[in-house]
Amino acid sequence: MIEIRDLHKKFGALHVLKGIDLEVQKGEVLSVIGASGSGKSTLLYCINGLEPIHQGRVVVDGTDVHAKGTDVNKLRQKLGMVFQQWNSFPHLTVLENVALAPRIVRGLSMAEARDVAAKQLGHVGLGDKLNSYPNALSGGQQQRLAIARALAMEPDYMLFDEATSALDPELVGEVLDTMRLLAEEGMTMICVTHEMGFARDVSDRVAFFHQGTMEEIGPPAQIFGDAQSEHTRRFLANVR
Amino acid sequence: MFDYNFHWRPVLKSLPDLIEAGMVTLQVAVLAMACGIVIGLGLALIRLHMRGPLRWFASAWVELARNTPALFQLFFFGFGLGAFGWHLSPYTIVLAGLTFNCAGYLAENFRGGFQAVPDTQIRAARSLGMTSVQTYLRIVIPQVLRIVYHPITNQMVWAVLMSSLGMMVGFRELSGETQFFASRSFRIFEYFAVTAVIYYAIVKIILGASRLMALRLFRY
Ligand SMILES: Nc1ncnc2c1ncn2[C@@H]1O[C@H](COP(=O)(O)OP(=O)(O)OP(=O)(O)O)[C@@H](O)[C@H]1O
Ligand SMILES: [Mg+2]
């Protein structure tokens, strides 16, 4: 379980997250929506400790992410992350991209790491690209590579930061399908997304962020059909 | 009237000596580059990540190496240190001078290389649980090496050509050796013409080797 209590985050004078309280249960799929600059990406970075926080707590399976003695590198193995810019490592083949962290972080042997990598790449439909370099892949394929790379750490949670918004429209579908597949398999997921169809169909709950606060959270039917907040309604009217 | 008579025979007779001196040139250039790469990498990292005296030192090094004549840099290690009673051998002077110069130029290349690797690559690596050292060794530096590969090759060529300044501090590398023979036989043009060909050959060999190595190293 991920528990977030009274989370505050500032960049200099800019108060980006203003007291977030949120719990995500095992197996749940949470979509996070909201306008640009509302703090969605920052929330994810605070969850896996890529950004320090100013107040509050983030607890993952009982471990306080930002506490002093916490081994964040170990914790991050539980928290796979996929970024908007797909970030393939350009100097490594597709297989090496995925096998590297299992080998040097999880400590698997070369052969084990390659097996894990090949399995995850097959899972996201890249089984025939193992020896290609990322620059030979389309954006959609590179984003699926990024998903496989995160999955190869056998994480308990997956954080998606607008995984499809840098993609050409015709490539969005293949990545969303992969994310759907993960959700069906029971992966716990927090998905920052602009894909309202995905948020409505796949998530258990949808959270709407507005200027650094979580304005509203609830099942998709509530958020999309019967939003309580004026801000939520206005945002949804604009994106549709 | 053009009445100079070319005499190639003495040059051809000392060709083995010249080629041997060419090897000395190549050796000192390779050594200077090896040291220059390590030091340049260190200087770049200091300038990118540190504050205070160490950073001033690194910046001063880079500024001096890039903005003063290479010959003066050699003279510093020769006559400059000599004035303080610290006498280095000609070989050491050239090696130190070239290393100083190469490290300064390479530091700037490395710095540009590090800046060209997007921060998001580092975030992605860290999000997988890699430590910052692992991230540097496995993700950042390999990409930087690719970016600075051609600048390093160019610097290597420069190091070979620049080592000819060694003759000004009495070092018998290729140019020094040529001057020695030329002044003995007065066939100055012939000697330096042949030596130019040897330099040219060395540079071409370096460029060819670099190209072959790039094919093996960078598959992407
Ligand atoms: N490293 C940083 N330094 C300074 N300000 C930052 C930094 N990262 C984000 N910000 C600022 O924090 C605010 C929230 O940014 P964040 O990226 O979390 O928004 P977002 O909701 O993900 O928006 P988008 O939909 O555009 O991705 C923005 O105003 C942004 O400019
Ligand atoms: Mg964002």
Indicate the SS3 state at residue A95. helix
Which ranges of chain B have pLDDT less than 70?
A: 1-2
Look at residue A19 and tell me if it is in a domain: no
Asked whether residue A3 is domain-assigned, the answer is no
Who among B129, B138, B142 is closest to A153 (CB)? B129
Residue A105 burial (C-beta neighbours within 10 Å; 0-12, 13-18, 19+): buried
Q: Are A189 and A37 in contact (CB under 8 A)?
A: no
- For B54, residues 6+ apart whose C-beta sits below 8 A from its C-beta are B46
**Residue A127 within a domain:** yes
**pLDDT > 90: what percent of chain A?**
93
Please indicate, yes or no, if residue B1 is contained in any of the structural domains.
Answer: no
What pLDDT sits at residue B169?
Answer: 85
Q: How many domains does chain B have?
A: 1
Q: How far apart are CA B163 and CA B153, in angstroms?
A: 15
Residue in chain A closest to B146 (alpha carbons) equals A91
CA of B109 to the centre of ligand 2 (A): 32
Residue B95: give the domain boundaries.
16-217
Cβ contacts of B143 on chain A, cutoff 8 Å: 90-91
CATH number, domain at B85?
1.10.3720.10
To the nearest whole Å, the CA of A105 is away from the closest chain B CA by 6
Closest-CA residue, ligand 1 atom 30, reads: A37
Is A9 within a domain? no
Q: Are the C-beta atoms of A17 and A73 separated by less than 8 Å?
A: no
Listed in sequence order, the residues at least 6 apart from B106 whose beta carbon sits closer than 8 Å to its beta carbon are B36, B37, B39, B40, B41, B44, B148, B151, B152, B155
B202, B46 in Cβ contact below 8 A?
no
> pLDDT tens, A180-228?
999 999 999 999 999 999 999 999 999 999 999 999 999 999 999 999 9
Give the CATH number, domain containing residue A139. 3.40.50.300
Q: Is B197 within a domain?
A: yes
Rounded Cα gap, residues B154 and B3, in angstroms: 40
**pLDDT at residue number B103:** 97
The pLDDT tens digits for A131-177 are: 999 999 999 999 999 999 999 999 999 999 999 998 888 889 999 99
Which among A86, A78, A26 has a CA at the least distance from the CA of A48?
A: A78
Instruction: Check if A16 contacts B (Cβ < 8 Å).
Output: no
Residue A18 is which amino acid? K
Q: Which helix (H) or strand (E) holds A20?
A: strand A14-24
Per-residue pLDDT tens digits for A91-145: 999 999 999 999 999 999 999 999 999 999 999 999 999 999 999 999 999 999 9
**CA B50, CA B40: separation in Å to the nearest integer?**
15
pLDDT of residue B10: 83
Q: Is B10 domain-assigned?
A: no
Residue range(s) defining the domain that contains residue A163: 27-38+71-239
The nearest alpha carbon in chain A to B124 belongs to: A87
> Is residue B6 in a domain?
no
Cβ of B128 under 8 Å from any chain A Cβ? yes
Instruction: Identify whether A44 is part of a domain.
Output: no
Asked if residues B159 and B65 have their Cβ atoms less than 8 Å apart, the reply is: no
pLDDT band at A30 (very low <50, low <70, confident <90, very high): very high
ipTM score for this prediction: 0.92
Enclosing H/E stretch for A5: strand A2-11
Inside any domain, residue A230: yes
Query: How many domains does chain A fold into?
Result: 1
Give the minimum alpha-carbon distance from A73 to chain B in angstroms, rounded to a whole number. 4
Question: Contacts of residue A87 in chain B, CB cutoff 8 Å?
Answer: 118, 120-121, 123-124
Beta bridge partners of A200: none
Name the residue at shortest CA distance from atom 2 of ligand 1: A11
